Amino acid sequence: MKEKYMTENKYNTIIVGGGIAGLTSAAYLSREGKKILLIEKNKECGGLVNTFTQDGFHFDAGVRALEDAGIIFPMLKDLGIHLEVVKSPVSISIENEMLHIESLESLIQYRELLTTLYPESKGEINAIMKVIRKIMKYMDVLYGIENPVFKDLKRDRTFIFKKLLPWLPKFILTVGKINRMNLPVEDYLDTIVKNPSLKDIISQHFFKNTPAFFALSYFSLYLDYFYPKGGIGKLSDALINKTIENGGEIKTETKIIKVLADKCIVIDQQNLTYEYDHLIWAADIKTFYRISETDGFSPKIKTIFEDTKEKMLDNRGGDSVFTLFVEVDEPLENFRKIAHGHFFYTPSKQGLGETHWNELNSLLHNWEKVKKEQMLAWLDKFTRLNTYEISIPGLKDPELAPPGKTGLIISLLAEYDLFSKVQEAGWYDEFKTELENRILSVIANSIYPMLKDKIIKHFSFTPLSIENRIGSSEGAITGWSFEKPVPVVNKIQFSDRSVLTPIPSIFQAGQWAYSPAGVPMSILTGKLAANKILKRNN
């Protein structure tokens, strides 16, 4: 270890945020022998890649299954991590129609399912299928090789000559086509689908204005989902263990409340200071801009910093989720007969229409005049017409539920402002209960009748719980809202720059660094930030 790092609390790199992005940076920098400290505000690391236990049931707090995207498996291999995983097959159901997605052929069954429900829109359904098929081909190229960022390009000549070079021209061509599909999925569907219900059914479980390519690529991602044995959190555990094994330090229950960027110091809630040469900020980016001081920098850096800060603070986090966790006194087998452990369920083919966006916006806009009954009537519609993401960890790994019992995770997209206004108005707990009861009633009266009388216990997380737990602005789970131009890099060919900040010693990583984000992009930015530091050190 270099002498200058012998002082306690002085590090080559400090990483703030122990989500999957921060953990990736930590594992890579510690592997190269850097003196690093990862600081996490919670008791446990993982952020939205986390599993918790309640009454013997294991529940995933954030993401429900993982997609490799040419990133996760190459990262694990590169770090020498063995993670036991199983496939996480997906089912889709709309009203009484059910599809278990098994292979590419399932796309034909998906077309049939939609045609049964919307016979009048056969032509439009065929047009959607054509687009999905086209996107699947793009995805095959995009994720067709292991992401080169996780390969040792100096030594692995076979990879360079046999895979990377033949792939590059196809990649460049495909990226151009993908970028042309960056418009909001709603607008894109408008060009091919006139039936409003059909349009909703295809797009209503995506955030508002999700880029069309990202949204419509999900069918091929469904085939790719996998699940770590023991729960999603095992991925985070593996990176924690690797970091510690490499000699890296992890400090939990420590919240950074100030960054003296000009002095290369961060300060925690107990006023303890930590010095760094490099900082990777892998937590909420708006928080970073709010708590950073830049007084000692040149006017040029200060101006760029202030401009960037304004842009960041002017944007919002994307939509959040409401999640209901249910403990049921019914064996897994009875759920297995109905659908796979990862399930997108829409009880009504009618579609949400304007319920989620325009109607809710109008209620929020006129909040002072809105009566409780109006809000609850809206909630009725919202829960009846929505699409639910349902995950049953025990169907992926039976060890995750007590014998003879089943744990369910049921979620839907939810607007942060709604919960925050309800909280201000003083009926947050009541509203939460009303929402929980409506969801349970919709699900029990349709797809899982055993929820009528077999529930042992249930509890929920709202967008405000997410904001509290992981500190993300507006309770966002995948970074920036798509409603305004995003203030970060959003083109894959420029992803290398996504980790730069106006301050040369500070890098950003995770859901806020690149858009659209998710687990694979958070991992990629974590690695890119580590690479920048390693390059500087060498």
Ligand X SMILES: Cc1cc2nc3c(=O)[nH]c(=O)nc-3n(C[C@H](O)[C@H](O)[C@H](O)COP(=O)(O)OP(=O)(O)OC[C@H]3O[C@@H](n4cnc5c(N)ncnc54)[C@H](O)[C@@H]3O)c2cc1C
> Residue 121 or 462: which CB sits closer to ligand X?
462
Gap between the Cα atoms of 135 and 40, Å rounded = 38
> Which of 182, 186, 173, 192 lies closest to 214, judged by CA?
182
For 383-440, give the DSSP string.
HHH--EEEE-HHHH-GGGS-TT-EEEEEEEEE-HHHHHHHHHTT-HHHHHHHHHHHHH
> Residue 41 or 405: which CB sits closer to ligand X?
41
Q: Is 472 in the site for ligand X (CB under 6 A)?
A: yes
> Which of 72, 57, 3 lies closest to 523, judged by CA?
72
Among residues 14, 15, 16, 401, which is the contact residue for ligand X, using CB under 6 A?
16
Among residues 360, 477, 499, 533, which is the contact residue for ligand X, using CB under 6 A?
477
> Residue 197 or 315: which CB sits closer to ligand X?
315
Shortest Cβ 291–ligand X spacing (Å): 8
Q: Is 478 in the site for ligand X (CB under 6 A)?
A: yes
Angle at the Cα of 405 (from 459 to 412), degrees rounded to 5? 40
Q: Is 37 in the site for ligand X (CB under 6 A)?
A: no
Three-state DSSP state, 259: strand
Phi, psi at 92, each rounded to 5°: -125, 135
- Restricted to residues 248-267, the positions that interact with ligand X (CB under 6 A) are 255-256
> Residue 230 or 510: which CB sits closer to ligand X?
510
| Strands 57-60 and 292-293, sheet pairing | unpaired
> Residue 76 or 375: which CB sits closer to ligand X?
76
What lies within 8 Å, CB to CB, of 237 at 6+ separation is 46
Which strand (E) or helix (H) includes residue 202? Answer: helix 196-203
Binding mask 51-90 for ligand X (x = CB under 6 A): -----------xxx--------------------------
Shortest Cβ 155–ligand X spacing (Å): 29
- Choose one: 34-42, 95-103, 146-154, 181-189; the region binding ligand X (CB under 6 A): 34-42
Shortest Cβ 146–ligand X spacing (Å): 18
Please return the burial class of 361, using the count of CB atoms within 10 Å of its CB with bins 0-12, 13-18 and 19+.
middle
Alpha helices in 246-298 (DSSP H): 285-291
Gap between the Cα atoms of 444 and 328, Å rounded = 12
Among residues 277, 284, 319, 474, which is the contact residue for ligand X, using CB under 6 A?
284
Among residues 355, 411, 462, 498, which is the contact residue for ligand X, using CB under 6 A?
411
> Which of 41, 70, 60, 44 lies closest to 477, judged by CA?
60
Shortest Cβ 74–ligand X spacing (Å): 16
Q: Is 19 in the site for ligand X (CB under 6 A)?
A: yes
> Residue 44 or 156: which CB sits closer to ligand X?
44
Q: Is 216 in the site for ligand X (CB under 6 A)?
A: no
What lies within 8 Å, CB to CB, of 501 at 6+ separation is 281, 308, 507, 508
Among residues 70, 510, 527, 530, which is the contact residue for ligand X, using CB under 6 A?
510
Is residue 81 within 8 A of residue 28, CB to CB? The reply is no
- Choose one: 162-170, 190-198, 511-519, 528-536; the region binding ligand X (CB under 6 A): 511-519
* Binding site residues, ligand X, CB under 6 A: 16-22, 39-42, 47-49, 62-64, 255-256, 282-284, 287, 321, 411, 470-472, 477-478, 510-511, 517-520, 522
